Structures are given as structure tokens and as C-alpha cells.
Amino acid sequence: MSAPLLIASDHAGFELKEHLKSTLETLGVPYRDLGTHSADSVDYPDFAHLVAAAVGAGRAERGVLVCGTGQGMVMAANRHHGVRASLPCDESTARLAREHNDSNVLALGGRVLSQEKADAILRVWLETAHLGGRHAVRVGKIEIER
């Protein structure tokens, strides 16, 4: 990754986000934390939009978002042009989200995943490349005209 990965969470994902930052450090992946910076209640779309806007505009290659289930973050992030946010539940779906769908934003649920499972998903998602070919053609059909 040329630019730092962006990471953000709401209050429900704060604890897992803090854990994932240490995982990124262990893996040697540079990152920028866009918040939240405490477990005080905040609105998840605010943080999803910060990360997704940067990824969609090409200011970052990839982002990681964490809320209670990951559902809110993935829905908000996917509103942005150029963002292909995924919500994998295991290593296999994380690999396929990268290989087939060229996922550039990963959403995770702090209330539904253990730290170990989230680490495993993150590692696979970071290490897996997009396959291109017929998958690139399909990915190209995701965006709609605005």
C-alpha cells in the first residue's frame, strides 16, 4: 500500500479498532486513525463517510471500519462512488471479497467478532490481491452513472 490505510470506528467498535491498530503495527502496515477516540456514543455514518470519501477520491487505497455489527458501516461506505466495502464473516469471505470483488474497505463488527477472528479476517483481506480478468469486468459493472 502506498498511502496509509485508514481506520475508524464508532463507540461500539472502538475496543476492536484499538486492538486492530496493534495488529496493523505488528504487520508493519502504516495506518491513520480517523476516530472515534473513545467509547463515548457517536454516529457511525460520520466515521464511515470520512474513510469512504478518502478511498473513493483516491486519497487512500483502503480503509477499515468497525461498528457493532459492521452492517451500518458497510451500508454508509458503499454510498460513495469508487468504494467497494465488504463485510466478511470469516477468512474465506475476506479472501473472496478481495479476489473477486476488489474490496477496498473492510467492515467488521466489534460486538459479533472475537479479536482473534477479526485479526484473521483483516490479515487475509490485507494479503489477498484482486484476481483481475473476468472479475475486473464484473467489478467495473458495479458503479452506476450518477
Q: Establish whether 67 is a catalytic residue.
A: yes
- Give the SS3 label for residue 48: helix
67, 89, 130, 135: the active-site residue? 67
Dist. CA 88–CA 101, nearest whole Å: 12
Dist. CA 71–CA 93, nearest whole Å: 15
Q: What angle do CA 51, 56, 61 make, to 5 degrees?
A: 75
19, 49, 100, 135: the active-site residue? 100
Pick the closest to residue 55 from 24, 28, 72, 78 (CA basis).
78
Dist. CA 8–CA 61, nearest whole Å: 15
Catalytic residues: 67, 100
